[in-house]
Structure 1
Amino acid sequence: MLAEQIMFCNRLLLTRNDRLPFDIISAVAKAIHPLNPSVDVLAVSWGNIELSTLLAILDYNFDRVELLISELEALVGNMDTPCNNEELIWRVIRDDRPFHPQRLWDTCHRFMGMGVYRSKGFLAPRRDDLALLWNQSAGSISLALIGYWKAGVLEHTDNNLTREERSALQRHIDTASGRFGDRCCQLTIIGNATEVNDFTHALSLCLLTEEEIQWWMSGGVFPDPWPQKVTRLS
């Protein structure tokens, strides 16, 4: 399927350029470019693409695609598609309890195997005013600050909100179902059935216990091995 997508595209983007050395990116580009030699290959860092680059893309060449389909039709008709017995499933963790950062770190290093293809979502104590996005694809994991929990904003006295804005936020928080206002944990895991089930179970054990929640709310701080520095993208 990936080869077909490359053959029919009109611009080929290589993501994760920020995570791989230039020689690997260059080798990948040279290896796949023969599948569609008429298009440009563009390496993208952090998903950033210049608007001028997008505007410079030519209109899709349907005539070339029609010719390609006719050339491949006989070949595709004679191909024996291998049967894939792998069961692909997804699981969702929804909980108002935050993750214990150290247990989450240990679990991701021990239980997230090659069969966990995709997972997304995040919340960690000690950063309870921040809405953090957990984004995992295959072996690539990233954390991104996507905003602030409304409950966290109201806890800061220097938020420069008007009385009306504070009231609107408070009404939203009051309607939330969790114990910590709008703060919540929602994580979706996709992949091989066995590994996803094992990873989901391991993640559920990373959620704070009631005793840990009481300690945390009284000012306790958990060990946090996750990155502390923030990279700002222009």
Structure 2
Amino acid sequence: MSVQLTTTAVTVLSGFVPSAVRATAQALLLADDRLVSVSHDITGIRDGTVLRTVRTATEVLEHETIRVEHGCVACTLREDVVPTLARLAAGPAGRDLLLVLPHTIEPESVAAACGRMTGIRFDSYVTVVDTDRFLDDLTSTDDLRHRGLHAADDDHRTVADVVVHQVEFSDTVILWSRRTSDPAHVDRLGALVHRLAPWAVQVPTGTTRSLDIGGLSALVRGTRRHDPQRPGLLGLALEGRAVGVSDPASSVVFRSRRPFHPQRLHDALDELTTDAVRGRGQLWIASRPDLVIAFESAGGGVSLGSLGHWLDALPAARWTEAGDQRRFAAELSWDPYYGDRNTVLALIGLNLDDTALIALLTSCLLTDAEVADGFGAWRDLPDPFRDFFPPR
């Protein structure tokens, strides 16, 4: 006798405007009476409490306040979200789940915590963009703390950080609009969202009085759009994947094999982020030729971090530490002098002067004379980033 194993499909729903996310969740629940949603109210998380609700379109199955040991989002994911999904997946066959995230949670953290669960397939990561609010939040310079939305005392994320990370990680974006929404404005936002997440399928809800919940559900659920092998956004270029699309006045993708001069790049950061609502990618600076540097900007702020070492800076025996796709991409584009080192940056906005941005970035690169000085001399260049990436 053979036993057929069933797998529960989970759709993850995120978005920064709670009313739009709730409306979307209710529409999906109404379209399928077997669908069960799981949501967590984390407004009390700084005091160590979280409210979990499990429901169908017509019935509340669970409504329970739980204590989380350390009062943090990661703890909530580990201590309640994961076991709750596992417990519900073991329930009646044929019942899929809708995980509705709190509006300040970034879906990539969920993927990291839940990626290897047995008996569960994460079908798609869906982000709801409220077309009436999105642009204001995307261009906001507010921290979550300014709006009382921070999850912990050390949560220093900005509103713009959360908004872009929700959209960029998604494989599906619902453009939630209303009868009063301007169709032309919705179209413009759709174009902007495409620049932010060209890999995502867009699902507009329209501007009529009614919503086709069956049509919405068919476009969102059961799509198998989530690719669990896709790297985090800042690792895309290392695998040879696109970090953006080039489009005059709205998106610039800048590439270079030669490194940035650290001082000139530092001096140009404010100008680079003045018109671009979003910047992302990888770069290398001459004073740290071994290090892959992640670059992010949103809400007027800039973040730099480490993505590890360039393969050319590692002994060949350690190349197996990198994934197959990264090694393949490096081999395809290998430079006899720079190795796999390269800069790939995407800058996205509404009215970009792409010619001026490319000229500014180019002016920050090493000159021919500086390149001729060689790797050894580059380490002694004046470097305002040295405290961020201390020499090893």
Give the TM-score taking structure 2 as reference length.
Answer: 0.38
> CA 1:49/1:197 → structure 2, altered by over 3 Å: closer, same or farther?
farther
The question of 1:176 aligning with 2:337 is answered no
- Contact preservation (8 Å) 1:6, 1:12: no
Task: Work out the CA distance in 2 between the residues paired with 1:124 and 1:175.
Answer: 22
Structure 2: gaps spanning 5 or more residues: 1-14, 26-38, 47-62, 66-70, 89-96, 101-176, 193-249
- Contact preservation (8 Å) 2:253, 2:345: yes
The question of 1:52 aligning with 2:79 is answered yes
Which of 98-107 and 171-180 deviates more? 171-180
Q: CA deviation at 1:5?
A: 4.1
Q: How many residues align?
A: 184
- Alpha-carbon RMSD across the aligned residues, in angstroms, is 4.4
Task: Work out the CA distance in 2 between the residues paired with 1:2 and 1:171.
Answer: 37
Deviations along 1:130-150, one digit per CA (max 9) or x if unpaired, are: 111112222232222111111
Amino acid paired to 2:79: S
Structure 1: gaps spanning 5 or more residues: 15-21, 23-37, 63-74
Determine helix, strand or coil for the equivalent of 1:112: helix
Q: CA deviation at 1:54?
A: 2.8
- Contact preservation (8 Å) 2:273, 2:279: no
- Contact preservation (8 Å) 2:286, 2:375: no
The question of 1:76 aligning with 2:178 is answered yes
Q: CA deviation at 1:110?
A: 3.1
Determine helix, strand or coil for the equivalent of 1:222: coil
Higher RCO, Cα 8 Å, sep 6+: 1
Which of 201-210 and 53-62 deviates more? 53-62
> CA 1:227/1:54 → structure 2, altered by over 3 Å: closer, same or farther?
farther
Alignment of 1:157-176 (within 5 A): 161=317, 176=333
The question of 1:208 aligning with 2:366 is answered yes
> CA 1:188/1:53 → structure 2, altered by over 3 Å: closer, same or farther?
farther
> CA 1:209/1:61 → structure 2, altered by over 3 Å: closer, same or farther?
closer
Deviations along 1:11-54, one digit per CA (max 9) or x if unpaired, are: 5789xxxxxxx9xxxxxxxxxxxxxxx9x9xx978x88742243
Give the TM-score taking structure 1 as reference length.
Answer: 0.60
Q: CA deviation at 1:229?
A: 4.1
Deviations along 1:172-196, one digit per CA (max 9) or x if unpaired, are: 8665343300111111111123255
> CA 1:12/1:119 → structure 2, altered by over 3 Å: closer, same or farther?
farther
Determine helix, strand or coil for the equivalent of 1:76: coil
Task: Work out the CA distance in 2 between the residues paired with 1:61 and 1:174.
Answer: 40
